[in-house]
């Protein structure tokens, strides 16, 4: 893992975002450094996937700034935003493969959509990407014929198709058996280092995530609760963070959602 201090690729400053009246981010600040694997962790419902969508420009913040490679994402024109997105790879939680296309055609899809490369070159590039994830021989299979781990690796090959500067991983370990999970963990680390990528890894799988992360943020209630290297987080004195990282259950009230009084919530409309 990197021990240097590379340049900041992504800056999130004073980010505010709400959905359905619920405050998701309330002044969030964080930085993603180039060449590293940065983990964004926290309990379910804390906005981890929402943060990826904000970075990619799919959602707009109420307040705050997100810069990617020096560009203010939400001030870009549509054309400029599309150009920036070509430099971002995304691995969705479900893989999101196109079910009517073969493995080969799924990986070829970005080339056909965004380039005018000849078919012979597309073939070579697709096989190279599939070889990188260990699935070159599966190129003629359909998504329905793949295991969960294989589908995740095909999706990763597709995410790498246009040689992005960064890849965002949305819960890449969900639903995988222990052996497959171990392969995916190793693959993310190996590809990040071999290709000089910047990786953002959103997950609540603590052990697997911290085993490959260079730096991690733990978020809750719209803000960063703790951040640092895996070693730094392991030594935290913050009770909430320790509970999350170690999976303690004897202090469950620390993770209980803050809400109005139960009776008031039930009777509110009747009393009005």
Return the CATH number of the domain spanning residue range 8-87+164-271. Answer: 3.40.50.300
User: What mean pLDDT do residues 49-72 have?
Assistant: 94
- Looking at every residue in the chain, the average pLDDT score rounds to 87
DSSP structure class, residue 66:
E
Residue 31 has pLDDT above 60, yes or no: yes
Q: What is the pLDDT of residue 2?
A: 43
Q: What gap in Å lies between CA 36 and CA 10, rounded to an integer?
A: 12
Q: How do beta strands 63-68 and 8-19 pair?
A: antiparallel
Residue 156 has pLDDT above 80, yes or no: yes
Domain boundaries of the chain, sorted by first residue: 8-87+164-271, 99-163
Residue 4 has pLDDT above 80, yes or no: no
pTM, two decimals, is 0.82
User: What mean pLDDT do residues 215-232 have?
Assistant: 93
With contact defined as beta carbons under 8 Å apart, do 52 and 39 qualify?
no
The Cα-based distances of 211 to 15, 117, 168, 216 in angstroms read 28, 38, 17, 11
With contact defined as beta carbons under 8 Å apart, do 150 and 136 qualify?
no
User: What mean pLDDT do residues 54-62 have?
Assistant: 94
- Which pLDDT tens digit goes with each residue over 230-244? 999 999 988 888 888
Q: How do beta strands 198-203 and 223-228 pair?
A: unpaired
Choose among 86, 58, 62: nearest CA to 73.
58
Q: What is the pLDDT of residue 192?
A: 92
Choose among 35, 55, 24, 48: nearest CA to 203.
48
Q: Which residues of 160-199 are buried (b: 16+ CB within 10 A; e: fewer)?
A: bbbebbbbbbbbbbeebeeebbebbbebbbebbbeeebbb
Between 57-71, 97-111, 151-165, 240-254, the lowest mean confidence (pLDDT) is in 240-254
Q: What gap in Å lies between CA 231 and CA 9, rounded to an integer?
A: 23
- Which pLDDT tens digit goes with each residue over 88-107? 998 887 668 888 999 999 99
User: What mean pLDDT do residues 220-224 have?
Assistant: 90
Residue 252 has pLDDT above 50, yes or no: no
With contact defined as beta carbons under 8 Å apart, do 201 and 37 qualify?
yes
pLDDT band with cut points at 50, 70 and 90 for residue 1: very low
């Amino acid at each position: 893992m990197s021990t240097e201090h590379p340049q900041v690729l992504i800056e999130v400053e004073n980010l505010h975002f709400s959905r359905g009246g619920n405050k998701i981010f309330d002044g969030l600040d964080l930085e993603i450094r180039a060449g590293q694997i940065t983990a964004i962790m926290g309990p379910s419902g804390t906005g981890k996937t929402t943060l990826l969508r904000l970075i990619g420009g799919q959602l707009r913040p109420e307040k705050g700034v997100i810069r990617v490679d020096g560009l203010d994402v939400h001030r870009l024109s549509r054309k400029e935003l599309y150009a920036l997105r070509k430099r971002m790879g995304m691995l969705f939680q479900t893989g999101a493969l196109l079910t009517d296309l073969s493995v080969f055609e799924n990986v070829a899809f970005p080339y056909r959509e965004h380039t005018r490369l000849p078919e012979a070159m597309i073939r070579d590039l697709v096989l190279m990407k599939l070889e990188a994830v260990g699935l070159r021989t599966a190129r003629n299979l359909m998504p329905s014929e793949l295991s969960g781990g294989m589908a995740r690796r095909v999706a990763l090959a597709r995410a790498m198709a246009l040689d992005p500067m960064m890849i965002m991983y949305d819960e890449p370990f969900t639903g995988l058996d222990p052996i497959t999970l171990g392969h995916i963990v190793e693959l993310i680390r190996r590809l990040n280092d071999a290709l000089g990528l910047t990786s953002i890894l959103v997950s609540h799988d603590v052990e697997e995530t911290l085993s490959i992360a260079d730096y991690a943020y733990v978020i809750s209630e719209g803000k960063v609760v703790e951040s640092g290297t895996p070693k730094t987080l392991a030594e935290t004195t913050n009770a909430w963070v320790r509970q999350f990282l170690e999976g303690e259950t004897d202090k469950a009230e620390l993770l209980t959602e803050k809400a109005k009084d139960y009776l008031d919530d039930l009777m509110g409309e009747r009393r009005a």
